[in-house]
Structure 1
Amino acid sequence: MGWTLQQPRSRHLLLLFMTFALCVTVVFISKSGTEISTSMMTQKSPQVNSPNDSRDLYEHSTVAYKMAEMEMRVDQLTRLYELKDNDVQDLIKRFSSVLKSIVKSLNVSVTDEIESLIATYNKSIETIRSPMANFDVFTFLPHLRSHKNYLRPLILHSGNRNAVSIVFGVPTVRRQQTYLIQTLINLVSNMNQTEQKDSLIVVMIGETDQEYIKQVTEEIKSRLPEAANSGLLDIIAPSPEYYPDFSKLRLTLGDSEDRVRWRSKQNLDFVFLMMYCQPKGSFYVQLEDDVVAKPQFHSIMKKTALQKIANGQQWFILDFCRLGFIGKMMRCSDLPWLIQFIVMFYNDKPGDWLLDGMIGTKACNLEKDDRDCRKRKNEIWVMYSPSLFQHIGTRSSLNGKIQLLKDSLFKKKINVKRINKIRSK
């Protein structure tokens, strides 16, 4: 949809195959070990507790945890391989066109070999070209269709870090009172060295003023030099042409023109940030530029996600903060669905409402009542307690809007039923 890897396709395929083979081996070992352990336990008297039982249980739990992590890696590699297919198609088309141009410029007769080569590439194009209409991000942002480079980020700073467990997305814009540096310092200081090496924080500056973008970038690098130099921080910005003509937006929800423009741009900022982050890790966490976190939030989030995967629980969102779009964790492989959903309705509703609408679409049966809908949504939108993030800003990026909301679950732990009741209101 915008950014792709530069490695050969065969290398991705080989890596995917090797990872899959490793997973099969681990599954076989795990299954064999479990069967042996079960067999030994059935031979013991029910009244006797073997000192090895707890160790066997721990080892089985560790294997399940590692298997869940391996599953996420395979899922990520599969997605990257699928994205690479699009590059191959474009490459074939461009190569065929260049080949024809070269032959024409040389003003020579086309040999049978060249004709055969061109025919082979054209046949490849026809094979992979869909016979049906292809709907993508350009369908809903048509101004980008003739300038696909507008989807390429301005990479202001990057350590080229990939394949981390968690990518944290932090969108930021110019506002009267900024909390960005405070937020970044808090996030970094609440991770130990191991967590920092397994993370990537991506700051997306949603502005087109080049001087302001440069100013923010230099401030981040000067205030957090270790994080910037280690590869923990990436800083990006969109091309100025990425945004559509906001004066042509439809007025929706009875909101003013300024509010519609503000939330529509915010949605497109989310989309741009997610597209950049999607291929860089196993999990993606949406944050804001005015939050604080609890110590070791990275380890808690990763452990929670992998345990649920190991237990076979199907989830789409793990929610570590009940406010807006803060602390929402998703698999990176699931991001394309959310990206496309937001792109389709970016002019209609705020991003957190669209997220709720997508979950409702996935989970709810319209033939049943709201109670059943809430139950099904809670199965795939899982709330974690106590919250790991707190909103600290008071001035919204929308001029004149005061944001005083706080997450009461940040300091105390309450019953899960109470949490679900709060979220369903």
Structure 2
Amino acid sequence: MLCWHSNHYQLQLRDLEATIRTKEEDIALLSQYIIKQQRSQGIDVIGEAEPGKKASLLKRLSLDIRKNLFNNLTGETSLSPSVAFPTTFDFWPHLLNDPNSLRPALLISYNRSGVRIVFGIITLAKKNQSYLCDTLNDLITKMTEEQQKQTLIVVFIGEKKFNSVLRIWKLVEKNFKRHLENGLIDVIAPESSYYLEFAHDSMKLAQRCTKQNQDYVYLMAYARKKGAFYIQLDDNILFKTDIWNIVDKLIITDRNYPWIVMHFGRMSKSLCCTMFETKRLPYLIGFIQMFYYETSANELLRKFVQYQDFPTESLFGRKSRYRKLKYRPYLFKRMTIMKKEKDNLKGELRISSN
């Protein structure tokens, strides 16, 4: 009898926890909705409101909250029943601690979209020397004006301290003001509350992998509706050749074959120089969200491809296979700082083939 009561109370506790989680999510969504209602739409703004986001937020609220909200606003007494599909808050409940957790701390954009290729570059504050400007300049100068019109470069600043975010933004603005104003470059940075906080510092490797995975998710989520193809880059590379034309030829050549990812460089723990169709990014984003604290982004991508790389029957009875394509020779060189052992010089620049 005692055991039955214990199980009964445990079930009640789980129900209450689920209810609390739903209410917390409602509060976060309503807070975002109110913020977006209060903000006017603009071009070059921080935390810009986008068309359609308000309706999307409302649809994700629980049914009882939506009923009360719509009854107060419109006087309607009934709504069609809805299904509570999982959201980002279910995978990352720490986002519920701040209603602004998914809102950019900084967003500089002229709303360019519908391009052919989106380049995403994650950058961080560097102690010694930053190569972000070298990477951007090299990428831009290797494109024609017509190619630039079909391109968007998104610079993602993965820093929690806003002073560091502003410092990097000012560097980009100083060196690439014309490209910012013509819409070629967007700059975005998340709120510090977007990142998962660890209780202690004993898991530095896990923290680094977790944060990097969160960076990829945020950047891909922003870029996925901007163009047809997405290429992930690091902030310390130089291209050996005209990557735009090579990518364009590969897209045309392989358009009749199903592929998930193309690699243009040696695989490491990052996703540098990998290309995806943006229509596949939501699946990869969801996969990373579920396992973001388990392992590196490269390993997650390998598993993601592995789970989808199996023979499937087509409508005509033929078997097809998703492919992971690798381009040779590698298309980029990585810039690194090599410290000298015999003296205290800051270091020398080494451009290594990767």
Query: What TM-score, normalized by structure 1, do the two folds share?
Result: 0.60
Alignment-derived partner of residue 5 in structure 2:
none
The Cα shift of 1:175 comes to 2.4
Q: Which moved more, 1:263-272 or 1:147-156?
A: 147-156
Residue deviations 1:244-266 (CA, integer Å, cap 9, x gap): 112369xxxxxx62222112111
User: Which residue number in structure 1 is paired with residue 59 of structure 2?
Assistant: 89
- CA 1:199/1:385 → structure 2, altered by over 3 Å: closer, same or farther? same
- Contact 1:323–1:407 at 8 Å: present in 2 too? no
The verdict on how the C-alpha distance between 1:220 and 1:322 changes in structure 2, with shifts beyond 3 A counting, is: same
**8 Å CA contact 2:58, 2:66 repeated in 1:** no
Q: What is the 5 A alignment of 1:70-109?
A: 86=56, 89-90=59-60, 96-101=67-72
Q: 1:248 to 1:277 in 2, by over 3 A?
A: farther
1:361 and 2:307 are equivalent in the alignment? yes
User: Partner amino acid for 2:116?
Assistant: S
Given candidates 135, 140, 149, the residue that maps to 2:91 is: 140
Q: Is the 8 A contact 1:315 1:380 kept in 2?
A: yes
| Equivalent position of 2:341 in the other structure | none
CA–CA distance in structure 2, aligned partners of residues 222 and 386 of structure 1: 34
1:328-372 CA deviation, whole Å, 9 max, x = no partner? Answer: 11011100111111111111111111111211222269xxxxxxx
| Structure 1: stretches of 5+ with no match in the other structure | 7-81, 104-113, 250-255, 366-375, 396-403, 409-425
* 3-state SS in 2 of match to 1:168: strand
| 1:190 pairs with one of 116, 138, 142 | 142
Provide the rounded CA distance (Å) in 2 between the counterparts of 1:170 and 1:347.
Answer: 21
Out of 238, 241, 252, the position equivalent to 2:190 is: 238
Are 1:163 and 2:102 counterparts?
no
Rounded to whole Å, the distance in 1 between the matches of 2:166 and 2:293 is 29
Q: Measure how far apart 1:242 and its partner are.
A: 0.4
Contact 1:205 1:235 survives alignment (8 Å): yes
Query: 1:389 aligned to 2:332?
Result: yes
TM-superposed deviation, 1:83? 9.2
SS of residue matched to 1:284: strand
Aligned pairs for 1:48-59 within 5 A: none
Query: Retained in 1: the 8 A contact 2:238–2:334?
Result: yes
**1:143 is matched by which residue type in structure 2?**
H
**Residue aligned with 1:329, SS:** strand
Shift of 1:287: 0.5
Is the partner of 1:118 in helix, strand or coil? coil
Letter in 2 for 1:212: S
Tell me, what secondary structure is at the counterpart of 2:156?
A: strand
Structure 1 residue 190: Cα displacement: 1.1
Which residue does 1:180 correspond to in 2?
Answer: 132
Deviation at 1:149, TM superposition (A): 3.5
Q: Which residue of 2 aligns with 1:292?
A: 238
Distance 1:96 1:313, change over 3 A: same
Amino acid at match of 2:265: C
More helix as a share of residues:
1
Structure with the bigger percentage of strand: 2
Query: Distance between the aligned counterparts of 2:138 and 2:73, measured in 1?
Result: 57
In the alignment, is the contact (CA less than 8 A) between 2:336 and 2:352 conserved in 1? no
Q: What are the Cα deviations for residues 115-145 of structure 1, in whole angstroms up to 9, with x where unaligned? A: xx432xx12xx0xx22xx6333222211114
Query: Taking structure 1 as reference, are residues 102 and 221 closer, same or farther at Cα in structure 2, changes over 3 Å only?
Result: closer
Map Cα deviations across residues 170-208 of structure 1 (whole Å, 9 max, x no partner): 011122232111111111111111111111110111112
Are 1:322 and 1:407, in contact at CA under 8 Å, matched by a contact in 2? no
RMSD: 3.3
**1:298 Cα shift?**
1.4
The CA deviation at 1:226 is 2.0
Q: Unaligned stretches of 5+ in structure 2? A: 1-28, 37-51, 312-319, 339-349
- Whole-angstrom CA distance in 1 between matches of 2:260 and 2:351: 25
1: distance between equivalents of 2:276 and 2:53?
Answer: 19
Q: Give, in whole Å, the separation in 2 of the partners of 1:282 and 1:201.
A: 13
What is the distance in 2 between the residues matched to 1:219 and 1:83?
31
Deviation per CA, 1:50-78, whole angstroms, max 9, x where unpaired? xxxxxxxxxxxxxxxxxxxxxxxxxxxxx
Match of 2:248 in 1: 302
Partner of 2:178 in structure 1? 226
Mapped to 2, the partners of 1:390 and 1:84 lie a distance apart of: 43
Segment drifting more, 223-232 vs 165-174: 223-232
- Output the amino acid matched with 2:331: L
Q: 1:188 touches 1:227 (CA, 8 Å); kept in 2?
A: no
Q: CA deviation at 1:147?
A: 4.3
Alpha-carbon contact 2:232-2:272 (below 8 Å) kept: yes
Which AA in structure 1 matches 2:260?
F
Contact 2:288–2:300, Cα closer than 8 Å, also in 1: yes
Give the equivalent residue in structure 1 for 2:77.
118
Aligned length: 286
